[in-house]
């Protein structure tokens, strides 16, 4: 299909050749692509695909009206730059919602059934865990509390309900419902009232100034002793030391963690970087995952990313609403 007019897109990074080929196949005729980091001569693009755009990229084309961030999230530098340019709308894609939700459920199950320490012991020919009933938790009939009810949270909620769990979700706009509505939707102000009833606490909300440290020592102290915490959002949403102390003292039962507090900065650090200043690896009630919920560890995700980008570009070129408008004031 041809768009109603010529529509030009500049992508800050060039995807691999197979992704470029797929993108060109999916797009309407009339959508023109250029790739960076070097800008084309006499830049005139209507949409920029970039996670952290430079000042030059944002100002080079007088026709630029849309910034598409090719992932879910809003870097602070991008937020600051776009607040100065209210004429440019900002949008995300949510191509990795399914793998992130699947890993959240996997972490919940592994923590509830103590799979990691049980596996380790059976590898040493120790069958004792079979006769230790307190090692596992039955999830059916328990209550899951979701912090965040976006693309990822809705998928987690569906999986929890499929396991026979009751689901409560906290979201910034509780009046916005969805077809897969949980049993209860509450505003963020209800957090302290909801925590004591949470058998599993799933964290799947954006990292913003408002959510940083949202779960600290006081909030962890409100959780039941049998509670399992799962974090696939960002590490700093949960206070680092408070989480370690709660797990070390077993004031909560277990945790499944995919997002951390320290990351390798270079390729040669990938095999020698502790994820925290506290020794979470010494605890047998923690399932640790090296931030695998997103695009890096699932083969199908790159194709999903390309298809999501294509859908947004087509909508923009046709003058239709572009999905996932970012609220700069809220930070996501």
Strands (E), 237-304: 254-257, 286-288
| CATH architecture group of domain 2-95+299-318 | 3-Layer(aba) Sandwich (3.40)
Please state which of the four CATH numbers 3.40.50.1240, 3.40.50.720, 3.40.30.10, 3.90.1860.10 is assigned to the domain occupying 97-288: 3.40.50.720
Residue 331 near residue 210 (C-beta atoms within 8 A): yes
Asked about 234 being catalytic, the answer comes back as yes
What confidence score (pLDDT) does residue 1 get?
Answer: 55
Report the percent of the chain where pLDDT is more than 90. Answer: 78
Whole-number average pLDDT of the chain: 92
Asked about 269 being catalytic, the answer comes back as yes
Asked about 55 being catalytic, the answer comes back as no
What confidence score (pLDDT) does residue 31 get?
Answer: 96
Buried b (16+ CB within 10 A) or exposed e, 274-292: ebbebebeebebbbbbebe
Residue 292 near residue 278 (C-beta atoms within 8 A): no
Integer Cα distance of 12 and 34 in angstroms: 9
In the chain, CATH 3.40.50.720 covers 2-95+299-318, 97-288
What confidence score (pLDDT) does residue 209 get?
Answer: 86
Q: pLDDT, tens digit, for every residue of 219-268?
A: 999 999 999 999 999 999 999 999 999 999 999 999 999 999 999 999 99
Distance between alpha carbon 256 and the CA centroid of its chain, in Å?
A: 15
Integer Cα distance of 24 and 12 in angstroms: 16
Q: Is the pLDDT of residue 179 over 80?
A: no
Alpha helices in 167-300 (DSSP H): 191-194, 217-222, 240-248
What confidence score (pLDDT) does residue 187 get?
Answer: 92
Residue 201 near residue 195 (C-beta atoms within 8 A): yes
* SS3 assignment, position 325: strand
Average pLDDT rounded to a whole number, residues 324-331: 91
Q: pLDDT, tens digit, for every residue of 135-172?
A: 999 999 999 999 999 899 999 999 999 999 999 999 88
Integer Cα distance of 232 and 262 in angstroms: 15
Strands (E), the chain: 2-11, 29-35, 47-49, 66-68, 89-91, 143-147, 166-170, 184-186, 200-203, 228-231, 254-257, 286-288
Confidence grade of residue 295 (pLDDT, cut at 50, 70, 90)? low
Please identify which of the residues 21, 132, 269, 303 carries the catalytic annotation: 269
Alpha carbon distance, N-terminus to C-terminus of the chain: 32
The pair of structure tokens assigned to 209 is 């100034």
Q: Is the pLDDT of residue 300 over 80?
A: no
Q: In sequence order, what are the beta bridge partners of 2? A: 29
Average pLDDT rounded to a whole number, residues 260-282: 96
Residue 302 near residue 19 (C-beta atoms within 8 A): yes
Confidence grade of residue 2 (pLDDT, cut at 50, 70, 90)? low
Confidence grade of residue 178 (pLDDT, cut at 50, 70, 90)? low
Q: pLDDT, tens digit, for every residue of 55-82?
A: 999 999 999 999 999 988 899 999 999 9
Q: Is the pLDDT of residue 97 over 70?
A: yes
- Dihedral sign, Cα of residue 74, residue 79, residue 85, residue 86: positive
Q: pLDDT, tens digit, for every residue of 192-227?
A: 999 999 999 999 998 888 899 999 999 999 999 999
Closest Cα partner for 174 from 184, 159, 163?
A: 184
Please identify which of the residues 291, 292, 307, 318 carries the catalytic annotation: 291
Confidence grade of residue 134 (pLDDT, cut at 50, 70, 90)? confident
Please identify which of the residues 91, 234, 253, 305 carries the catalytic annotation: 234
Output the CA–CA distances (angstroms, integers) from residue 282 to 109, 118, 198, 299, in the order listed.
20, 15, 26, 31
Q: What global pTM score does this model have?
A: 0.87
* SS3 assignment, position 151: helix
Residue 275 near residue 290 (C-beta atoms within 8 A): yes
Confidence grade of residue 20 (pLDDT, cut at 50, 70, 90)? very high
């Amino acid at each position: 299909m041809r768009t109603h007019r010529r529509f030009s897109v500049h992508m800050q990074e060039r995807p691999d050749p197979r992704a470029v080929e797929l993108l060109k196949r999916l797009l309407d005729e009339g959508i023109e692509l250029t790739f960076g980091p070097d800008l084309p001569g006499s830049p005139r693009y209507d949409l920029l695909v970039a996670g952290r755009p430079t000042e030059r990229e944002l100002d080079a084309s007088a026709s630029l009206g849309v910034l598409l961030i090719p992932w879910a999230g809003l870097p602070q530098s991008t937020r600051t730059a776009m607040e100065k340019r209210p004429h440019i709308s900002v949008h995300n894609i949510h191509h990795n919602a399914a793998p992130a939700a699947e890993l959240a459920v996997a972490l919940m199950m592994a923590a509830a059934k103590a799979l990691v320490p049980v596996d380790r012991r059976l590898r040493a020919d120790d069958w004792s865990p079979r006769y230790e009933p307190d090692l596992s938790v039955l999830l059916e009939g328990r209550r899951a509390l979701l912090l965040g009810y976006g693309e990822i949270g809705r998928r987690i909620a569906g999986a929890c309900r499929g396991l026979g769990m009751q689901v409560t979700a906290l979201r910034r706009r509780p009046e916005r419902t969805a077809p897969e509505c949980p049993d209860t939707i509450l505003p963020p102000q209800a957090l302290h009232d909801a925590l004591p009833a949470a058998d599993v606490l799933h964290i799947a909300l954006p990292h913003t100034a408002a959510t940083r440290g949202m779960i600290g020592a006081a909030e962890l102290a409100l959780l039941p002793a049998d509670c399992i915490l799962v974090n696939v959002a960002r590490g700093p949403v949960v206070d680092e030391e408070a989480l370690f102390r709660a797990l070390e003292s077993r004031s909560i039962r277990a945790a499944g963690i995919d997002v951390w507090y320290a990351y390798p900065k270079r390729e040669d650090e990938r095999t020698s970087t502790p994820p925290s200043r506290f020794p979470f690896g010494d605890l047998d009630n923690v399932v640790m995952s090296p931030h695998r919920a997103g695009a890096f560890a699932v083969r199908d995700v790159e194709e999903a990313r390309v298809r999501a980008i294509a859908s947004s570009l087509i909508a923009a070129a046709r003058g239709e609403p572009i999905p996932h408008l970012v609220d700069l004031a809220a930070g996501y």
